A and B are shown apart, each in its own frame.
Chain A
Amino acid sequence: DGGITQSPKYLFRKEGQNVTLSCEQNLNHDAMYWYRQDPGQGLRLIYYSQIVNDFQKGDIAEGYSVSREKKESFPLTVTSAQKNPTAFYLCASSTFGQGHVEAFFGQGTRLTVV
Chain B
Amino acid sequence: DQQVKQNSPSLSVQEGRISILNCDYTNSMFDYFLWYKKYPAEGPTFLISISSIKDKNEDGRFTVFLNKSAKHLSLHIVPSQPGDSAVYFCAASLTSGTYKYIFGTGTRLKVLA
Contacts and interface: CB of A to CB of B under 8 A. Distances in A.
A31 B44 contact: no
Nearest to B33: A100
A35 B30 CA distance: 19
Tell me the dominant secondary structure on chain A's binding face.
strand
Nearest to A96: B99
User: Chain A interface: which size bin?
Assistant: 20 to 34
A48 interface: yes
Interface string B62-100: 000000000000000000000000000101000100111
B34 interface: yes
B105 A56 contact: no
B100 A58 contact: yes
A1 interface: no
A11 to B, nearest CB: 13
A88 to B, nearest CB: 8
A40 B8 CA distance: 11
Interface of B: 6, 9, 31-32, 34, 36, 41-46, 49, 51, 89, 91, 95, 98-106
Instruction: Give 10 closest A-B pairs by Cβ, nearest first.
Output: A105-B43, A42-B105, A43-B103, A102-B46, A100-B32, A107-B43, A42-B103, A105-B44, A42-B106, A106-B43
